[in-house]
Structure 1
Amino acid sequence: MLTVKGKCVFAGIAIGPMALFHRSTISTAAHTIENVEAEAVRFHSARKKAISQLQDLYDKALTRVGKEQAAVFEIHQMMLDDPDYIEAVEDTIRANSINAEAAVDQASKKFADMLSTMEDTYMQARAIDVKDISRRILEVLSGGIGVDFTKYNHVIIAADDLAPSETLQLDPDKILGFVTSEGSTNSHTAILARTLGIAAVVNTGTALHTDVDGKTAIVDGYTGLVYIDPDEATLTKMQQKQAESLAYKKQLEDMRGKESMTQDGYKVELFANVGNPNNIPQVIMNDGEGIGLFRSEFLYLEHNDYPTEEEQFEAYKKALEGMKGKKVVIRTLDIGADKKADYFPLAQEENPALGLRAIRICLTRPELFKTQLRALCRASVFGKLSVMFPMIISSDEIDRSKDILQEVRNQLDKEGIAYDPNMEVGIMIETPAAAIISDELAKEVDFFSIGTNDLTQYTLAIDRQHTGLDKFFNPHHPAVLRLIKQTIENGHKAGIWVGICGELGADLELTEYFLRAGIDELSVSPPAILPLRKKIRSLNLSQK
């Protein structure tokens, strides 16, 4: 029996024969071209055909996985129109007098390497997108037809990685699961796998070869373990776990429409974390009671230029209308040197986590901040909107942020534009500094939302994205838990509500601790809502 371990993508159990994933071989060897302009035209012809193929995939994805997940193929079309990418291929063809296949391959490696070395996991995951669009062009240039999916029937696929377009073509009724040696849990491929409900484990670091073909395999999407050619004891154990998993999912379905309340009457609000308005259907589908974190920076990362006030207004309005009067907490721009757009002039920093980011950028560039605040204020009349400032470490930063917000409100009054004057204004508690003086900060705002991801890394002095330090990274560290408890207590003393919007909010091992500490709200990824509600309803805080 061979056992490998990777990262969990979808919490399911798959048992069945394994099949190695095969792609057609495409030659990208460089050879000299006499007519470089004709070769550039050949590249553009292939690029346009690839865009047309992506439109077909988008149309197919709409019916299979919905608009939210289909959007990846719109993004891929935009990437194929990206001037930097096009220029890199054209320049390589002309400067080296080489064929389009070699130029595309070189450009793909350049951009993929650049993205994969970024510290931000979202940007790292975009490396596979660059490889995907480049392979599509190469297939067109070579006259290839891509992967033949009809030969994969009731198997667990083993691959180096899967592109989003490949994952979309997996049939959940025929593909039991997949395991990849590379990949990221933040990639579009992982997101599609979760949406399709395919048990998957990625980034095992172990490349599988033809000797696994046909062998029985088990993918444990709960632990990240993959068993190949398991012994009888392991097979029996995992079959039982699979049966328990199916029974558990049935219990989760029974949680829909029920209150997030303990057996002794302690009520908690269960909200969702989202990246854009297209995530709203997923919030509704998972019975979210509101949105506790709307990451507005995705509006900036997905644009080729600064999003206008009108573009932002429409996005915020769409989110509010989609939630039909339920609370929507929108975090103002949280972008930094490790998470940047080409049009956003930010200097490279040795330690971006401690650099110019989030509220520091907004206070440094007030006109940028005002544009977003105007859009937020205008949208506030279409629902229950709360504004949240990230990375606050002092009362002075709160005062300056609220002063700019008041300037915006005054201007809207002059223009006769409506907004909600009672809109809540809160802050994220993401640093030990903010947690320690939370008694002072609580006097200035309407609510706290504890960002446990950053709070943990700053408290422990460990980069949470540094995989080599995983054995030292303990999100349950007593120092982190004490800072959370202290923040909750100080918030309540000042009469404001306190929530958690970081990953620890979905950690079922800590749910009872948070409730006993007095947490008012937990905001988690939409799929984590029903398991969390089940956990809350199982608790009785009156019992010690």
Structure 2
Amino acid sequence: MLTLSQDDVRLGCQADDWRTALDQAAEALHAAGLVAPDYRGGLYEREAQSSTFLGNAIAIPHGTAESRVHVKATGVRVLQFPDGVDWHDGQRVHVLVTIAAQSDEHLDILRQLTHVLDQDGIAERLPAADSPGEIAGLLSRAVVEARLDAETLSLGFPARDHRELALAGAARLRQTDCVDSGFVAAVAEAAPQALGQGLWLVASDRGVSVPALAMATPASPLDAGGEPVHGVFCLAAQGQAHRGLLERILALLDSDAAGVLQAADADTLLARLAGESAAARQRRATVLNAHGLHARPAKQLVQVARAQGTAIRVRLAEGGGEAVSATSLTKIINLGARRGQQLVFSAEGEEAEAALDAVCRALEDGLGERVEPFDAHREALEPREDAPAPAPLPADEAHVAVAASPGLAIAPAFVLRTPRFEYPARAADPAAEIQRLEAAIRQATEQLEALVRQARGGEVAQILSMHEEMLGDPELHQAAREGIQEGASAEAGWWEAIDTAAQAQERLADRLLAERAADLRDVGRRVLGILCRVELPRPPDHPYVLVTDDIGPSDVARLDTGRVRGLLTARGGATAHSAILARALGIPAVVGAGDRVMTIDDGTELILDGERGRVTPAPSAERRQSAERRLAEHRRREAEAWEARFAEARTRDGHRVEVASNLGNTAHAADAVERGAEGVGLLRTEFLFMAHAREPDLETQVAEYHEALEALDGRPLVARTLDVGGDKPLPYWPLPQEANPFLGLRGIRLSLTRPEVLETQLRALLMAAVGRPLRIMLPMVKDVAEFRAARAILDRLLDEIPEAERTTDLQLGVMIEVPSCALLAPSLAAEVDFFSVGTNDLTQYTLAIDRDHPELSAQADGLHPAVLRLIEMTVAAAHAQGKWVGVCGELASEPTAVPVLVGLGVDELSVSARQVPLVKARLREFDLDEARAQAELALAQATGEAVRDALEAR
């Protein structure tokens, strides 16, 4: 979280206009080493979008999301202008709080400042301040907010007297980590005090970590000393932070609402404590903006509210905070509303309905920003019973879905339907239910440990180990126990905890994370199956294609690869863990095929094509025979390719093309060599960062990289630097939610925001490769500036590390994934040592098609002529400078594409280890002239489909 200190403040600045002031602010950030000079443009772009003036003579200039690539470190610089500056919106500014933020830290500063803006006299005191400490003090007086929400309420508690109600409230506060056992003990010793109207209060400041208010109401009527007991407030006091809560209790006592609270639900009680009268009309609306109600959308909301003919108040639905005026910008911002959170608007009078309609409609329309619908429930435990049945798939017709794992399978279907977990929602003995749950969790953990041992390392073991960590999550356990203590059964309490956590992950609004929520549900269903004594149906003894709605990674790991010929799912995507594991196990897989695949009957024969993403039920004899011929030919070629796997990769006329392996784990390097790989063309180093709970240190990285280099025994290793971001997050490197993470902060863009992380990785690679050839590749490079920034770090390390302690056979290159990089290949080729084309991303960025899109992914074809043109341009630019070009995307292993890529001049093909022998064999089937002719033919076509048709016809 950003904070202000006196070292961040510059006094006595002067500027003739706002532009000069903004230039000084940009220079202050640059001089502090927080940003590159180009960040200045981001400050101007933000002002062009909307003024950053907040009020009380304060403006908070900050860059746009696009300009974050120029941020080197998060920080703040405060500039005081005693004479003031006329801002471009007509306001007078005396202080600029200029922010360099690598994500959304500026929202934290903004929330602090909103407290300051409500203070009288600030606009006069800021220009008159004569010390940096005074400025920092004035701007940092954030108010600690006391907690009151649905989790601090205990309604309908079966208490025998008001003291038990007080303890129930204290227990709530302890469960929410607001207090410790000392507070509970203090409440036990104190006698609740009558406030009137049946409400009572007990308070203590002992053991308070977060000021908060709990309320407990009795399940049946109570009295104490002749006074009715409708509810007991339990107050965790701290400094002055709880004063607002006390004031709201007093306001409640002055109203006529206090007496009806005993029977009120949580929403009603929170509404009354928020200051809303019983006569107020309410309306809820969801915040859809990607970054919540920051300054620009908040300003739009205020303008809409001010245009109405009645007063409107607003609060967060899940909080018990006081409802604030919807016409106050600072109060709206201070709500801190994030995407997916609900706001409760209230208004009174004849015009209330129209006013509420207007503000809710404005919120749903995005408040001037482009927004996407918020789907809070992407996956239910069971399908809706009233949903219409999907139409059956027609026989002998290919059904197109998402290709997840290559290969061809012909076998009868075994349809695995999600079992029904039937269990009581409530249970009478919480202690016994908790014991049942703990026993089930232990049994599930033992199952996962056994599966990890069977997997013997690799991606399967890593993902199952992650499941084991999920199962041990203390927050999940605590959430389940709380539900059970409130009367839920072990099954209901556990699944509620799982479902809530999975939905929270799904709310992050990108496909990869939504698919990974399936891991959490997989863990949950494992425990639920043990509790309910439900076992999955046993698969047949003969070979089969597994058809299921969705499948968890642990289910994939349990598959008998001797019988499972293929995998077909209704849901999921190519980036889901189940798809990753299917590829690792060599099982052809087609995913995201839709509900219609669940209409397939057990035993129906299927042709499943994992390369094209197609499934054909009940094929005709002719289609089946054709598929069998393809399968037999494929098996014959596999056997011959395996025998010749160690031969040097060359075309029929002797043209040399290296065939290397893509690796997702250093442990697989030895296997790649055994399969004939002539090196590693892509080591995805993020596996190492994702496998640890915290950033791996230098020693850990050196050991991991050294393992791969040792196994390669002098063969070259191409290591891609850390490629994570919005679509592949790290738990210890939090990033802002992005509407489109594939176009956001990822790859080299992200690494350069924390150059110390990149430096450690580069140092580890150099030291691990001493005496061996090393190629380092930078991902997501858009132009030469990003390459130069990384090159400067590498050059410094080469100077610092003695030659005897590092590799001396080194090349630094870039991945061609972004079209701009291919278009600018001539300028890059003059400075880089090599290019490697990542056809997966290059295709989706060139064609503007998400390659995992369930409907469009089939059109994301790497053989599209536009993609081939970019590859041609890249090769021409590289060869003109004497540099080599590889291809490390999936296109490199596609039989139809191999001669085209060779004809375009590609020098290296890097494929999965399983594909290495087959790609070598494919190279021996054509000569260079034929490859060039196929490349020319492909480039002459207008569409990807036309390319494939032309190549097939040839």
Normalization by structure 2: what TM-score?
A: 0.52
Q: Are 1:181 and 2:573 matched, yes or no? A: no
Partners of 2:411 and 2:543 within 8 A in 1: no
Q: Are 1:100 and 2:487 matched, yes or no? A: no
Matches within 5 A, 1:110-509: 110-113=500-503, 123-144=513-534, 146-147=535-536, 149=538, 151-194=540-583, 196-207=585-596, 212-381=601-770, 383-413=772-802, 418-470=805-857, 473-509=860-896
Letter in 2 for 1:138: L
Aligned equivalent of 2:462: 71
Deviates more, 1:209-218 or 1:129-138: 209-218
- Work out the CA distance in 2 between the residues paired with 1:83 and 1:394: 45
1:20 is aligned, of 411, 415, 422, to: 415
- Work out the CA distance in 2 between the residues paired with 1:29 and 1:423: 64
Partners of 1:378 and 1:417 within 8 A in 2: no
Note the C-alpha offset of 1:264: 1.9
In the TM superposition, what whole-angstrom CA distance separates every residue of 1:288-337 from its partner, at most 9, and x where no partner exists? Answer: 11111111122222322112222222211111112222111111111112
- Work out the CA distance in 2 between the residues paired with 1:231 and 1:492: 50
- Work out the CA distance in 1 between the residues paired with 2:804 and 2:483: 52
| Gap change, CA 1:317 and 1:539, over 3 Å in 2 | same
- Work out the CA distance in 1 between the residues paired with 2:889 and 2:641: 22
| Gap change, CA 1:78 and 1:431, over 3 Å in 2 | same
Letter in 1 for 2:892: G
- Work out the CA distance in 2 between the residues paired with 1:51 and 1:187: 22
- Work out the CA distance in 1 between the residues paired with 2:910 and 2:810: 19
Note the C-alpha offset of 1:122: 5.5
| Gap change, CA 1:172 and 1:361, over 3 Å in 2 | closer
Letter in 2 for 1:318: E
Partners of 1:212 and 1:228 within 8 A in 2: no
- Work out the CA distance in 2 between the residues paired with 1:504 and 1:488: 16
Partners of 2:774 and 2:809 within 8 A in 1: no
Gaps of 5+ in 1: none
Partners of 1:68 and 1:279 within 8 A in 2: no
- Work out the CA distance in 2 between the residues paired with 1:126 and 1:313: 29
Aligned equivalent of 2:443: 49
What is the aligned-residue identity percentage? 36
Partners of 2:694 and 2:732 within 8 A in 1: yes
Gaps of 5+ in 2: 1-393, 934-954
| Gap change, CA 1:477 and 1:224, over 3 Å in 2 | closer
Partners of 1:118 and 1:338 within 8 A in 2: no
- Work out the CA distance in 2 between the residues paired with 1:296 and 1:444: 24
- Work out the CA distance in 1 between the residues paired with 2:502 and 2:708: 32
| Gap change, CA 1:153 and 1:472, over 3 Å in 2 | closer
- Work out the CA distance in 1 between the residues paired with 2:614 and 2:856: 20
- Work out the CA distance in 2 between the residues paired with 1:360 and 1:185: 24
Partners of 1:219 and 1:226 within 8 A in 2: yes
| Gap change, CA 1:467 and 1:162, over 3 Å in 2 | closer
- Work out the CA distance in 1 between the residues paired with 2:433 and 2:423: 14
Aligned equivalent of 1:513: 900
- Work out the CA distance in 2 between the residues paired with 1:465 and 1:453: 10
Deviates more, 1:212-221 or 1:253-262: 212-221
- Work out the CA distance in 2 between the residues paired with 1:5 and 1:311: 44
Note the C-alpha offset of 1:494: 1.6
Partners of 1:149 and 1:169 within 8 A in 2: no
In the TM superposition, what whole-angstrom CA distance separates every residue of 1:474-527 from its partner, at most 9, and x where no partner exists? Answer: 433333222211111111222222212222222333322322222111112222
Letter in 2 for 1:526: A
In the TM superposition, what whole-angstrom CA distance separates every residue of 1:382-412 from its partner, at most 9, and x where no partner exists? Answer: 6322211222233332222122223334443
Partners of 1:320 and 1:382 within 8 A in 2: no
| Gap change, CA 1:28 and 1:312, over 3 Å in 2 | farther
Note the C-alpha offset of 1:342: 2.4
| Gap change, CA 1:492 and 1:165, over 3 Å in 2 | same
Letter in 1 for 2:499: K
Higher relative contact order, chain-length normalized (CA < 8 Å, sep 6+) = 1
Partners of 1:160 and 1:207 within 8 A in 2: no
Q: Are 1:528 and 2:920 matched, yes or no? A: no
In the TM superposition, what whole-angstrom CA distance separates every residue of 1:25-84 from its partner, at most 9, and x where no partner exists? Answer: 42355325553x66445433322221111111222233xxx6453333222212222345
Partners of 2:718 and 2:776 within 8 A in 1: yes
Letter in 1 for 2:425: A
Note the C-alpha offset of 1:159: 2.2
Partners of 1:337 and 1:346 within 8 A in 2: yes
| Gap change, CA 1:48 and 1:310, over 3 Å in 2 | farther
Partners of 2:508 and 2:737 within 8 A in 1: no
Note the C-alpha offset of 1:124: 4.8
- Work out the CA distance in 2 between the residues paired with 1:319 and 1:121: 31
| Gap change, CA 1:166 and 1:400, over 3 Å in 2 | closer
- Work out the CA distance in 2 between the residues paired with 1:298 and 1:387: 16
Which has the larger helix fraction? 1
- Work out the CA distance in 2 between the residues paired with 1:49 and 1:295: 34
Partners of 1:10 and 1:193 within 8 A in 2: no
- Work out the CA distance in 2 between the residues paired with 1:124 and 1:248: 39
Partners of 1:27 and 1:101 within 8 A in 2: no
Note the C-alpha offset of 1:208: 5.0
Note the C-alpha offset of 1:379: 0.8
- Work out the CA distance in 2 between the residues paired with 1:285 and 1:215: 38
In the TM superposition, what whole-angstrom CA distance separates every residue of 1:209-246 from its partner, at most 9, and x where no partner exists? Answer: 68713444444445444343444333444343433333
In the TM superposition, what whole-angstrom CA distance separates every residue of 1:69-114 from its partner, at most 9, and x where no partner exists? Answer: 33332222122223454454445445x5422312332333344445
- Work out the CA distance in 2 between the residues paired with 1:116 and 1:252: 43
- Work out the CA distance in 1 between the residues paired with 2:846 and 2:613: 27
- Work out the CA distance in 2 between the residues paired with 1:10 and 1:187: 15
Letter in 1 for 2:488: I
Counterpart of 2:422 in 1: which secondary structure?
A: coil
Letter in 2 for 1:99: S
Q: CA RMSD in A?
A: 3.0
| Gap change, CA 1:14 and 1:261, over 3 Å in 2 | same
Note the C-alpha offset of 1:191: 4.6
Note the C-alpha offset of 1:269: 0.9
| Gap change, CA 1:210 and 1:60, over 3 Å in 2 | same
| Gap change, CA 1:244 and 1:176, over 3 Å in 2 | same
Partners of 2:592 and 2:854 within 8 A in 1: no
| Gap change, CA 1:505 and 1:233, over 3 Å in 2 | closer
Counterpart of 1:467 in 2: which secondary structure?
A: coil
Partners of 1:7 and 1:224 within 8 A in 2: yes
